Amino acid sequence: MIKTLLYFFVAMVVLFALDSVNINQIFKKNKVFQARLFYFLIVLALTHIISKMILEFSNLF
């Protein structure tokens, strides 16, 4: 249960942080699906990495 809440909280923080990045400049025009997919995968990857780091760090104490 704690893991799920942690993943949800971290995902919200990652979404909030990535909202400030303008990724539209990276992609070609009319490539909306690819841009959204890239954004989604970045959110998933960062959420996983940060959550694992927090869980590992909490296991030290």
The pLDDT value given to residue 2: 86
Domain boundaries, the chain: 2-59
Per-residue pLDDT of the chain (61 residues; tens, 9 = 90+): 889 999 999 999 999 999 888 887 888 888 889 989 999 999 999 999 999 999 999 888 7
- Alpha-carbon gap, residue 34 to 19, rounded angstroms: 17
Cβ contacts of residue 24 below 8 Å, gap of 6+? 35
pTM of the entire predicted model: 0.84
- Alpha-carbon gap, residue 27 to 54, rounded angstroms: 32
